[in-house]
Amino acid sequence: MKKRYTNLKGWFTINTLDLNVTSEMEKAMQSSHGIGYSEYSRNLDLRIEVEKERDREHVKCNKMVQELQRKIHG
């Protein structure tokens, strides 16, 4: 009975994203992540990896800002 529920992939459909993408957005996505928006919108696993990478970069930038503020005001 447990085997029946070990692989749920394929049991539902993930909708693709319907985005209005400019050429600048497409270039930035290709440059930053090595994929285009069409692939990004179709592939959930890629979307998750891209968003994790964006989150890590955001955290890194926030730490740099805090460190600069500490040096300036501290």
Q: How confident is the model at residue 6 (pLDDT cuts 50, 70, 90)?
A: very low
Q: How far apart are the C-alpha atoms of 45 and 43, rounded to whole Å?
A: 6
Residue 51 burial by Cβ neighbours in a 10 Å radius (0-12, 13-18, 19+): exposed
- Taking only the tens place, the pLDDT of each residue in 8-59 is 555 555 556 777 889 999 999 999 999 999 899 889 899 999 999 999 999 9
5 vs 11, which has greater pLDDT? 11
Tell me, yes or no, if the pTM score tops 0.85.
no
Selection from 41, 50, 48, 35 nearest residue 17 by Cα: 41
Domain ranges, ordered by start, for the chain: 17-73
